[in-house]
Chains A and B, each alone.
Chain A
Amino acid sequence: MIHSLFRAALAAGAMAGVLAAAPAMAQQSGYTDGMREQYRDALQGKKVGIVPIAMSFDIAQAYVAGLQAQADKIGYELVVRDPNWSVEQGVQAVQQLIAEKVDVIVAHPLDAQAMNRLVKKAQDEGIYWLWANIKGGPSGDVFVGADHYQVGRTKVEIAAQYCADREVKKIAMVAGPSNNQAILASAAGIKDGLLDHPELQLVAEQSAEADANKAKSISDTVLKQHPDLCAIIGQWDGEDIGIPPAVADAGLKGKVAVITSGGGSHETACAKVEDGSYHAYISHDIGAQVVALNTAIVQLLQTRPPAGEKPFAAYVNMRVITPDTVAQTHCWSVAEVGQRVY
């Protein structure tokens, strides 16, 4: 009884299949533009691995959301290995990806120098190496990110403009952790920028070691010493969020420009410029970076140059968010990047 029912069901299913397929076949136009198949075949079933600094902050979440969205659309696999702020775990994760013979590795490293050795190892296996926003010694195949050196120079320009009308042009710098290549590059930019602006007097340069509370107490002390300070340049929004409360404490809100930079999500950037905490926020525009990373993946896997042969860089445009431009600026959110609004 059950057996015959099963047979009947199978037969009905087959019939339905034929009936459904018939009109579909009739509609196939056989269209091709000469690229669609190549695009699909080059990418489908491939494997892209990403090792971010940690999955617990917005920049890494946006990378993964944006890369995942394209992987889902085209039909390749994205493997995420989260080292959770550990340099060693990050190195291990990359080694594991190399052993698994993925096609592309996207590295967003806490300490890029620790990855240097692995770039060549991956490329020897024919794996393409993409640096996301933070670049180590070897160029890999692609660097996508902000031009951190230029970001540093621009910060000095903004400070110089802000301080132009002041009699005393004193500025202070709150430095970030020195093992981060992006921060080292922007520090070099700041230094060179200051050579162009000898009128700016750097009265304090202190490291907050990525701690907002340290950034606050450094700013507190410096502002007590120099109440005529006109700008504080920070290097990373995560710690610089401690500077505006110190400025407000000193009763100098609106008189001291706080200039910082970072990923540029809505919460960390636009909202903080809107409420007057920052005079200028230079966004690394992770939304645009995701587009560039996705394009690089598509390009490399279709053109298949030998890994490491012709490295190229895609520096995203700097977005300088100030009270004047914030209304026209679009800051990203992880959800938007994931829904391919970018």
Chain B
Amino acid sequence: MAKSSSGRIIDQQKIIFALAVVLCLVFAFTLPGFATASNALSLLQAVATIGVLGIGMAIVIIGRGIDLSQIAVLVMPPAWMMYQIQAGVPMAEAAAYAGLAAIALGVLNGWLVAYVEVPAIFATLATGTLMYGTMQYLAVSNDVIPLPKRLEGFIALVQGGTFGIPNIVLFLLLVALVCWLFLRFTVWGRYVYAIGDNPMAARATGVPSRPILVLQYVISALAAFAAGVVLSASVESVNTRLFNSTMIYDVILVVVLGGVGLGGGKGSVSNVLVGTILIGIMTNGMTILNLSIEVQSLIKAGILLAAIIADSMLNPRDELTSQQGDI
């Protein structure tokens, strides 16, 4: 948290925030219907899932890792949960089993990275496919699963609102608050920064690096699972084909865009929120402008590239602690 803005007057978060404000003003004056409360809420609603995934991802990236298995956890355990509920398993029990599957994958990721010392990018790439394949083989035979009728109450809750704010946006804010408190005020949260900043020094000073690494991946998996369950209620179905999509890049986009350095040790939940909101504003504005998907991808890619360049200029590699081969 303190790291990202330490001593700098202009950091990436501020640039992105300013960009978001400028875009917002431009759209507000040029696009009729953009600057309304209801459009603002629908904009946030659209990016809530990406935001929750991004927060989970940010914790891993701050600890100098990456979690490419998130999309597998986003779709497969919730899909299995829906199958169980369809088959008559009590809802809480089904959610618990599916949640345990997600946690198990988080533990496996953490174990591979922390104890077997496999680079995170390869470990999580493999475990994501493992999760997808195993679940597809054992439990999830269809890839679009309509939600069981029994979940009507839950669907209504997710699609509903509280004091005019969509509950799905409140869900994003809740996850953000919990993770912010964790990173900012708990010892384990501070350890995540220590490990990300300088893993050797952290270990030498007695930080329990390995268990903390495992914890990071478990948090990321849990965030993905929660996002998956909420997403499925929001669109009333689980679509496991998302595993084959480029969604993970969108997640990395909001994290990096907000200014969480890929080198680790830098950034916070607020960075992710700023990145998420910018992407939300852009997507919303481009939809209102009715731009084609190709142009939209081009603009998003350009912005990601600019963010990565800004990241490497504003957060130059520390020769003492960076290693070649880090992501």
| Chain A residues engaging chain B, CB cutoff 8 angstroms | 54, 56-58, 61, 85, 175, 203-207, 209-213, 215-218, 220-222, 224-225, 238-239, 241-242, 244-245, 248-249, 267-268, 271
Is B46 within 8 A of A204, CB to CB? no
Contact among B142, B283, B293 with A58 in the assembled complex (CB-CB below 8 Å): B142
Q: Given the known A-B contacts A211-B242, A224-B33, are A241 and B142 also in contact in the complex, defined by CB atoms under 8 Å?
A: no
Residues in A neighbouring B231, C-beta threshold 8 A: 213
Interface pairs (11), CB distance under 8 Å: A56-B141, A56-B143, A57-B142, A204-B290, A210-B245, A211-B245, A216-B46, A217-B45, A238-B144, A241-B144, A248-B159
Residues in B neighbouring A203, C-beta threshold 8 A: 290
Q: Given the known A-B contacts A211-B242, A213-B235, A242-B235, are A221 and B287 also in contact in the complex, defined by CB atoms under 8 Å?
A: yes
CA distance A207 to B245 in the complex (A): 14
Beyond the given A207-B293, A217-B42, A241-B146, could you list 20 further A-B residue pairs with CB under 8 A, ordered by the A residue number? Answer: A56-B142, A57-B142, A205-B290, A206-B293, A209-B293, A210-B245, A212-B237, A212-B239, A213-B234, A216-B46, A216-B235, A221-B39, A221-B42, A222-B287, A225-B33, A225-B288, A239-B239, A241-B237, A245-B159, A248-B159
Is B42 within 8 A of A220, CB to CB? yes
Is B241 within 8 A of A210, CB to CB? yes
Is A224 within 8 A of B45, CB to CB? no
Contact among A54, A56, A204 with B287 in the assembled complex (CB-CB below 8 Å): A204
Q: Is the interface of B mostly helix, strand, loop or mixed?
A: helix
Residues in B neighbouring A238, C-beta threshold 8 A: 144, 239, 241
Interface size on B, residues (CB 8 A): 38
| B39 closest partner in A (C-beta) | A224
Is B236 within 8 A of A245, CB to CB? yes
Q: Is the interface of A mostly helix, strand, loop or mixed?
A: helix
Residues in A neighbouring B45, C-beta threshold 8 A: 217, 220
Is A220 within 8 A of B290, CB to CB? no
Q: Does B186 contact A (CB under 8 A)?
A: no
B251 to chain A, nearest CB (A): 13
Is A217 within 8 A of B46, CB to CB? yes
Is A216 within 8 A of B288, CB to CB? no
Is B235 within 8 A of A241, CB to CB? yes
Is B159 within 8 A of A85, CB to CB? no
Q: Does B49 contact A (CB under 8 A)?
A: yes
Is A245 within 8 A of B234, CB to CB? yes
Q: Given the known A-B contacts A56-B142, A220-B46, A245-B159, are A206 and B241 also in contact in the complex, defined by CB atoms under 8 Å?
A: no
Query: How would residues 109 to 139 of chain B score, 1 for a CB under 8 Å from any chain A CB and 0 otherwise?
Result: 0000000000000000000000000001000
A281 to chain B, nearest CB (A): 14
Residues in B neighbouring A216, C-beta threshold 8 A: 46, 234-235
Residues in A neighbouring B292, C-beta threshold 8 A: 207
Q: Does B323 contact A (CB under 8 A)?
A: no
CA distance A268 to B46 in the complex (A): 24
Residues in A neighbouring B247, C-beta threshold 8 A: 211
A321 to chain B, nearest CB (A): 16
Residues in A neighbouring B244, C-beta threshold 8 A: 85
Residues in B neighbouring A268, C-beta threshold 8 A: 144, 146
Q: Given the known A-B contacts A213-B231, A217-B46, are A241 and B290 also in contact in the complex, defined by CB atoms under 8 Å?
A: no
Q: Does B38 contact A (CB under 8 A)?
A: yes
Is A56 within 8 A of B288, CB to CB? no
CA distance A241 to B238 in the complex (A): 10
Q: Does B276 contact A (CB under 8 A)?
A: no
CA distance A225 to B33 in the complex (A): 6
Residues in A neighbouring B239, C-beta threshold 8 A: 211-212, 238-239
Residues in B neighbouring A224, C-beta threshold 8 A: 33, 36, 38-39, 42
Residues in B neighbouring A209, C-beta threshold 8 A: 245, 293
A183 to chain B, nearest CB (A): 13
Is B293 within 8 A of A54, CB to CB? no
CA distance A213 to B159 in the complex (A): 13
